[in-house]
Structure 1
């Protein structure tokens, strides 16, 4: 189950991304906030708070949340996974919650059909993309279009099957567009923040040995990084204590401009992942996409 502080911070970031500068704290929440702040600092007891309501900025509130039991914020959504049961049962419970997730539905910028995840909830390897596209929405499964076929080929080259990995996206619904048909768009920061509580909980349930962030948007959602993938790859990052490797999205290989050296870069990232997973690497695998 997500820690209350993580859920609250995700909610505050979502509100801040929407342009909200103030969040309402009722009398009970304000009193609890002051008491927890006092306990943290072990200072003298504060005077009782005034009767009138108060507002604080999401940034200020999130700074105060570095405590074990943060005060209640009105309408803050909470993701709950069962304490007992298998990893598959816990993922199923998350999926049921995500289908009608208020924080995502309230945005009005995501489509109706949810695409949650696929694969082995006990996997050593977790792969995370940005959001479902046209084909993924139709089949309600991540990475089933042309980019998904490329991902399957990458996994096969690693000696893994698609079913052996756990595959998910930052955003659980296809981002909508005006007069949308097969065209897709990148999810916004606001849309990613709304769905991040589920991603965080997925990671805690699966507990993979490592995560691969597929593309710049996935890296932004997971790690808060922005910019080019070229500057993020070839190093290990962490999310929830799990090593994360950033690489190019498989769709990058579908571009006519993708050269042998680009394929090699992705493969080098996968070789690093194989080492992290403790998989054996043959000479043939080591030499994939090297100039002849």
Structure 2
């Protein structure tokens, strides 16, 4: 599963669109890389890596102060490794489920692979909900409101997720909600603006979430958004190409659906129905009761 710079860039833009981002800032270095790709593509030759010398026709970079934290360039030829098993570098302690989760929480706070990237902010947002559950929901990374409240899926996206859970006959304290990346990805001059995590950031944080899954041992996982799905499953693709069926993660069924923020931007009942069909499939797979009223949510009126 070889990923080209073009496919990685398209995946990153798709993840921004799914989160509702309409504008994205670029450093001068990133602009120069894109210029190099563009010039090379026009010549019909293969795109060189960002570390290659710029084409003579590419503008020289203007000196500009760089932020202390910026996403690192992609260097891994594979978007994500194929194995999705908990890393042997982490040994969970003996004790209760709560003891093990507290150990992971403490470990995540100063997780060196993530810290060494120097592209994530400092406030750690771990998880929320009931660890003694059959259903686990996983997103990509905390945003502004999550960082402020130190809880995953709050703000408008969190309210939308609460509505989805309520329609399923559930609440936040009946499920376990987490993110792959435990820190808000940073941006220059960042205020309330967010960005999706890079493949490198997800890869660095993946051992923590995989051990969370090992501790929780859910009967079902819902991947919220394309970035979370790609990170968990190691499959490259959009939400539309991955949803509508169950995937397997170490024996646990995973259902991919749109991020709640996607629904905030769409008033189209057809898009809401797609998410709801995923939820109905989850409910049926888990043996939850489904009423005729629930089956009819967001169907076109005759």
Task: Provide TM-score, normalisation by structure 2.
Answer: 0.71
In the alignment, which residue of structure 1 is the partner of 2:42?
Answer: none
Distance 1:275 1:237 in 2: 15
Residues 118 and 166 in structure 1, CA contact (< 8 A), matched pair in contact too: yes
In structure 2, the partner of 1:269 is 278
Q: What's the CA shift for 1:113? A: 0.5
Paired residues of 1:77 and 1:102 also in contact (CA < 8 A): no
Q: How far off its partner does 1:132 sit?
A: 0.2
Specify the SS of the correspondent of 2:272. Answer: helix
Unaligned runs of 5+ in 1: 1-16, 22-57, 66-75
Q: Which residue of 2 aligns with 1:280?
A: 289
Q: Deviations over 1:238-262 (max 9, x none)?
A: 112100000000001110x340000
C-alpha deviations, 1:129-150, integer Å up to 9, x for none?
0100000000110001110110
Can you give the 5+ residue segments of structure 2 that lack an aligned partner in the other structure?
Answer: 1-72
Aligned ranges for residues 36-185 of structure 1 at < 5 Å?
Answer: 78-82=89-93, 84-185=94-195
**SS of residue matched to 1:168:** strand
Number of residues of Structure 1 aligned to a counterpart in Structure 2: 226
> 2:225 aligns to what?
215
User: How many Å separate the matches in 1 of 2:76 and 2:237?
Assistant: 25
Spell out, residue by residue over 1:154-209, the C-alpha distance to the aligned partner (whole angstroms, 9 max, x if none). 00110011111010001110000000000000100000000000111011110101
Residues 107-127 of structure 1, C-alpha deviations (whole Å, 9 max, x = no match): 000000010111111110000
Deviation at 1:151, TM superposition (A): 0.4
- Structure with larger Rg: 1
Q: Secondary structure at the match of 1:128?
A: strand
| Displacement of 1:88 | 1.8
Aligned ranges for residues 214-233 of structure 1 at < 5 Å?
214-233=224-243
SS in 1 for 2:297: coil
Moved segments of 4+, more than 2 Å? 17-21, 76-80
Q: CA deviation at 1:85?
A: 1.9
**Alignment TM-score, normalising by the size of structure 1:** 0.73
Q: Hey, what's the Cα distance between the residues in 2 that align with 1:234 and 1:191? A: 27
Take 2:280 and 2:88, find their aligned partners in 1: how far apart are those partners? 39
Measure the CA separation in 2 of the matches of 1:96 and 1:192: 18
Select which of 227, 238, 241 maps to 2:251.
241
